[in-house]
Structures are given as C-alpha cells and as structure tokens.
C-alpha cells in the first residue's frame, strides 16, 4: 500500500499518549552496530532486552524521488507489489505459508524517498530461516511480462481509489503545481498515463530493478532479541552473492520559486471545501537548524493548542480541521498547511488568516516556556514509542534511510534543544515568503 502523505516527526510523535519517563542523556538509548558488506549492503543491528521478538526491516532507497525519467513514474510502488509475488525458489503461496507458520506479521509501504518491507516474528530459532528467505526474496526477484500486464491494472485501480479521496487529490495537485523539475512533483503512485503504459515497460522495469533493488541501495534494520555475531554470519552467508549496482541517482535540481502559484479543483460530488498551502522548504538535516526549527514551529503555531487553531476551529468554527505537515526528506520538499472548511465561502478568509499568522511569526517570538514544553513533549513521546521492539524499528525506518545511523535521532534532538525562539523566527522569515507559496483549493459544485 503506497504511503502517500509524509508526516513530520512532531505530528507523528504527538499522536502518542505518552506517560512521562525520567530524562535520559540520549533520546535513542540503545547500543547498536553498523556493518557494511563488500557489496555495499548496510546492516544496522539493534539487540534489545525485549524478549523473543525480532523486527526485520529491509529498506530500499526507492521512491518517487528515483523516478526521474519522463513517462516512467510509479515504478517504486510497482516493485512494492512485485516483492510479494515470490521467487522461483519460494513462490508467493509458499512465502505466505512460511510467514503463517511463523505467526509473523509482514507488510510494505512506499514513500517519496524509500520503500520499506518488514517481517516481525518471534523466536531466535527462526532468525536463520527468515534471513535466508528474505535474502532470496530480494536477490531473486522474479516476474515476467505477463505479470506486469496483470499487476498494472491492480495499481491503476489503486490510483483511482486514491484520487477518489478529495484530500489525496488536493495533495496530488499541490505537488504537481508547486514543483517544476524535481521528481517530488508526482506522488508515489505516479501519473495515471504512466500507470496505463506500464504493461509496455517490461524492459524499463528490469532496468529500474537493476539500478535500485541492489545491495548498495539497501539497508537491513534488525531490532530485537538476537545475537549480533550470529546475525552477521547469516547475513554474509545469504546476501554476499547479491551483485551491487553502482548506479548513482541524480535528481533534477528544483529552481527557486519566484512567483506565487495557485490552482483550483472542482470536485464532482458533494464534499467539504479544502485548502492546501505549500512552501518550498529544507531537506532533513541533523546539523543545520532549518528543518528542526520548522518542526518545532509546526507544533507551537499550528497544533490544536495554538492560537490560530483555537480561533478557526474552536471559536469561529470555520474549519473542521487545520494543521501543518512538514515531512523529513532527502531533498528539499514542501512545508504544507491544510484546512478542511465547513463553508466554501470562507476559503479566502482562512487562507488570509494562515498568511497573517505567518507574518505575525516573522516579528513576534514564541514564548520560551511554550517552546520548552514542546521540546519536552517530543522527547518523552519518542521515549515511549521506543519502548517496544517494533516501535524502535518502525520509528527508525525513516531516519535510517536518511542517514543509515540510528544516532541521527540523538543529533536531531540535540538540535531541538539548542533552537531558540529567535532561530524559529528567522526560519519563518526565510521560508514563508509569498513568492515561495503554492495555494490549492478544492470545492464541490464548480464554485471558486
């Protein structure tokens, strides 16, 4: 299933109802090891004191970011489907039987920057068979032209299901309008015309597989109850024969946006009006304060406790929902504000209020005590999530593909601690410029 809309760290963590814990010197408290095979495969190993459970994640740096050739979008998501079709050694039905026998959970998802596959299972005794089976699955991906012809209509159906959602459709239009060159312009599902043409692209699909489904583009993340030395012996035994790609992805450089953009979508059926405002923002960094400052801003200025939320949602009841989503990406992506309105007549008013709030934040400082409380909440919420084996692996998946090092969480939270209200104000001035904005609206019945 394609993961369509990335969430900022702050948005994800604050959804957890987290009991407070004593502060730790490092937000990621566990020992870990990173090893790299000769073929480039990175292995991140995190033995945990939690008994009997192992989370085995395979992270392939394959997302919409990789789809740089015109007419070839959607193949990252295509391979998410193909990876569950089995190999000649272990066909799909045998793979399902194997997982059922283990009582294991498995799934996958595709994002802008990576595709993640995971198996969560019990018992150290099962580790050897899981490593062997997963290695075969990735090294010996197999499908023929008939399979691509039968799978493409399934993906096309998923596309139609996705764009039947007004919220998904407004995001699709926002990114397509805001980006000119970079492959973030299209969603992980890809353009409909490209999906329709997939049955004719067998040769290209094989090229895509060779480029990206390779050890030097893949990270194994294993967390739980196992012995590191045993894990590495198994990994070397089963993955060493995987041939590396040596392909270097070059994503198109997005030119600076110098003029405000707008787009509108008429929704054929009855629905609430929607507004999305995007600004080109920074890529993830564990060293520069830009993105980390904006994470804190999103929670301070646009969460349910913020002044604008209280005004537009609670007091005036103009909006059914209002929020900010600033995802962490390898390349600069959008800082997005969204609102679902009760009356389309209020679209202009809500848009104006969001821009007014951003202008206010260019001159007024966030209260220091509020900023401190947000930092504390983020820290304790993450600590709570990291209390389970799959909480560790699932949380780290995004950050592992960015840096290949769990220590990036410690560096990120170190940045959070250093950020001041003045830093946040400077980032608002830097990124939230009218000329850097793209506004997309959606209404039912043809109104604009």
* Tens-binned pLDDT, residue by residue, of the chain (448 aa): 333 222 333 333 332 222 323 334 689 999 999 999 999 999 999 999 989 999 999 999 999 999 999 999 999 999 999 999 999 999 999 999 999 999 998 999 999 999 999 999 998 999 999 999 999 999 999 999 999 999 999 999 999 998 899 999 999 999 999 999 999 999 999 999 999 999 999 999 999 999 999 999 999 999 999 999 999 999 999 999 999 999 999 999 999 999 999 999 999 999 999 999 999 999 999 999 999 999 999 999 999 999 999 999 999 999 999 999 999 999 999 999 999 999 999 999 999 999 999 999 999 999 999 999 999 999 999 999 999 999 999 999 999 999 999 999 999 999 999 999 999 999 999 999 999 999 999 999 754 4
Q: Where are the domains of the chain?
A: 9-239, 261-444
Burial of 363 (0-12, 13-18, 19+ CB in 10 A): exposed
Q: Which CATH number fits domain 9-239: 3.40.50.10790, 3.40.1080.10, 3.30.830.10, 3.20.20.70?
A: 3.30.830.10
Residue with tokens 């990576």: 114
* Total residue count of the chain as it appears in this document: 448
Rounded CA-CA distance 211/401 in Å is: 17
For residue 26, the model assigns a pLDDT of: 87
CA angle at residue 403 from 168 to 34, to 5 degrees? 130
For residue 13, the model assigns a pLDDT of: 30
> Which long-range contacts link 15-24 to residues 24+ away (Cβ below 8 Å)?
16/381, 16/384, 16/385, 18/377, 18/380, 18/381, 18/383, 18/384, 18/385, 19/380, 19/384, 20/380, 21/380, 21/383, 21/384, 23/379, 24/383
Q: Which CATH number fits domain 261-444: 3.40.50.150, 3.30.70.3040, 3.30.830.10, 3.60.120.10?
A: 3.30.830.10
Domains 9-239 and 261-444 fall in the same CATH topology? yes
Determine the distance from the C-alpha atom of residue 340 to the mean position of all C-alpha atoms in its chain, rounded to a whole number.
22
The two structure tokens encoding residue 439 = 């506004």
33, 283, 391, 43: CA torsion to nearest 10: -30
Q: Which is it for the CA torsion 62, 65, 66, 67, positive or negative?
A: positive
Q: Beta-carbon neighbour count of residue 315 at 10 Å?
A: 9
> Which long-range contacts link 84-89 to residues 24+ away (Cβ below 8 Å)?
84/108, 85/142, 85/143, 85/147, 85/151, 86/137, 86/142, 87/136, 87/137, 87/140, 87/141, 87/142, 88/140, 88/142, 89/136, 89/140
Residue with tokens 């993830």: 284
User: Whole-structure pTM over 0.85, yes or no?
Assistant: yes
For residue 25, the model assigns a pLDDT of: 60
């Amino acid at each position: 299933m394609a993961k369509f809309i990335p969430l900022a760290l702050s948005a994800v963590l604050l959804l957890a109802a987290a009991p407070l814990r004593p502060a730790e010197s490092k937000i990621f408290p566990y020992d870990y090891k990173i090893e790299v095979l000769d073929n480039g495969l990175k292995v991140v190993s995190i033995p945990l004191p939690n008994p009997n459970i192992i989370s085995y994640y395979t992270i392939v740096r394959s997302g919409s970011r990789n789809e740089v050739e015109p007419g070839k979008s959607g193949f990252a998501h295509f391979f998410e489907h193909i990876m569950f079709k089995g190999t000649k050694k272990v066909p799909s039905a045998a793979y399902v039987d194997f997982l059922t026998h283990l009582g294991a959970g498995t799934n996958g998802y595709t994002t802008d920057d990576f595709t993640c596959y995971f198996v969560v299972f019990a018992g150290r005794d099962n580790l050897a068979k899981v490593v062997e089976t997963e290695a075969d699955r990735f090294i010996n991906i197999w499908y023929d032209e008939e399979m691509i012809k039968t799978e493409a209509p399934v993906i096309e159906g998923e596309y139609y299901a996705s764009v039947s959602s007004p919220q998904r459709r407004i995001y699709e239009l926002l990114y397509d309008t805001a980006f000119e060159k970079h492959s973030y312009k299209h969603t992980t599902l890809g353009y409909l015309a490209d999906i329709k043409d997939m049955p004719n692209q067998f040769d290209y699909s094989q090229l895509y597989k060779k480029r990206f489904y390779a050890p030097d583009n893949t990270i194994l993340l294993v967390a739980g109850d196992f012995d590191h030395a045993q894990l590495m012996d198994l990994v070397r035994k089963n993955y060493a024969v995987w041939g590396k790609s040596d392909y270097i992805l070059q994503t198109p450089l997005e030119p600076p946006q110098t003029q405000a953009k707008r787009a509108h979508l008429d929704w054929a059926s009855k629905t609430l009006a929607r507004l999305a405002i995007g600004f080109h923002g920074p890529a993830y960094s564990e060293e520069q304060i830009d993105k980390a400052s904006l994470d804190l801003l999103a929670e301070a200025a646009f969460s349910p406790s913020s002044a604008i939320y209280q005004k537009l949602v609670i007091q005036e009841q103009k909006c059914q929902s209002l929020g900010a989503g600033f995802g962490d990406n390898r390349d600069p992506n959008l800082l997005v504000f969204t609102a679902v309105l009760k009356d389309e007549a209020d679209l202009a008013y809500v848009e104006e209020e969001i821009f007014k709030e951003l202008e206010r934040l260019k001159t007024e400082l966030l209260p220091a005590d509020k900023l401190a409380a947000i930092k504390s909440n983020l820290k304790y919420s993450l600590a709570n999530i990291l209390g389970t084996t799959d909480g560790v692996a699932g949380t780290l998946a995004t950050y592992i593909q960015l840096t290949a090092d769990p220590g990036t969480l410690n560096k990120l939270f170190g940045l959070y601690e250093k950020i001041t209200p003045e830093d946040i104000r400077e980032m608002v001035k830097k990124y939230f410029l009218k000329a850097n904005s793209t506004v997309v609206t959606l209404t039912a019945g043809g109104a604009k």
